[in-house]
Structure 1
Amino acid sequence: MAKVKKEKNYFDTVHIWGRIWTVGALIVLFSLPVAISVYYNAWPEANLVFTALLKLVPLYWVTSIIEVITFTPMLGAGGAYLSFVTGNITNLKLPCALNAMEQAKVKANSEEGEIISTIAVASSAITTTLIIAVGVILFSPVLDDLRNSEALKPAFSYVSAALFGALGASYLKKHWKLSVFPVFVGIVVLLIAPTFGVSTLLFVTIVAAVAGALVLSKLKVVK
């Protein structure tokens, strides 16, 4: 009983602070464009805003819902709140959390996994902020040269693929039955729509991996 109460108190606290910071982040995000519009007395035309939103919102609503359903079980409550507030989940937060749990030999849905994932995501966010700050200061004089370099341009397109490739290789080796379906889906999507970006393809394969794992678990092919 004491353990259940303690666990409930922990998750209650996580959800309370998670909601507070999520709402706070939304207020800050909306406050900046509003403040700029008020200061310069320059407001966008409503019809142009709604026209643009009609094209973008349906896509982002679907993507957002799928991301929450897909990523939250892997990140845990604390890790999910931190990730969705700080962003860069697919490229950084999720790989860090999964790698940390693998190194600690804990499962994503366990109490230990919840703590490890939250610490990993928080450490990732702090480290990223510090590195970006230092990088901006040090590389600002040569940033344009690096960004416009013909030799380096191809590398920037494969950052996400390299991160998930390195992380996924160990999982593919250990759980090859779970890897067949997402790899197959990724290849099919790439053949049908070769213009899809790396981030989109990664997202599709992650969803396919989760769906395939659930189906195989139901069929008792894997435990």
Structure 2
Amino acid sequence: MDRVVKPNVAVLRECGLGARDIAKLLIQMPRIVTASPERALAMVACAERIGVPRGSGMFRQALQAVACFSEEKIAAKVEQLKKTLRWSDADVRIALCKWPTVLRWSKGMLQRKSEFLFSKVGLEPAYIAHRPAILGLSLERRLEPRYYVMRFLKENGLLSHGRDYNSMVLVSEKVFVERFIRPHKQAAPLIAEDYAAACTGEVPARFRFT
């Protein structure tokens, strides 16, 4: 306790983490607190190198993201992000600063989501880099069904100006239904039914666009 845990907790406090964040680390990634003080300091330095400064609200997530990987593995993960998501060095730095958890996502998962976001939704790599949390959402249960709704509403002149894809996928299910399904039940009586079907993996005929 005195030689390992207390010095590491002191380091975490110096990084701006409060008692709640430190408690979450103990539960979710105890190795950060129980590692040797030298290793704990190395994790802190690594989190800073990927672009997340001490005191940032994302610093705990950055520590969790780098804790399981060596320096070589992190470098390989960064190259994977650049190749899969077509990101520049600047894009990677922006994305990791906003959502360091992206380092922990598999290549296959990123590949499937990026192909959909690029080819179907038409998003640009830089757009995703500035909104990396979008990559953590389920492709089948959120990204695809809500894209179909957005496209349907646009095709039928029902989507107000200023609404973009990111604003539609990040809101909760309850808010999404309140904003984008219920207001259009008169103009599109089957939209709720079609959206529910899309969330199960089915693509209703009205959601098939040429």
Quick check: TM above 0.5?
Answer: no
TM-score, normalised to structure 2, is 0.27
- Using CA pairs under 8 Å that are at least 6 residues apart, name the structure with larger relative contact order, 1 or 2: 1
Q: Greater helix share, 1 or 2? A: 1
TM-score, normalised to structure 1, is 0.26
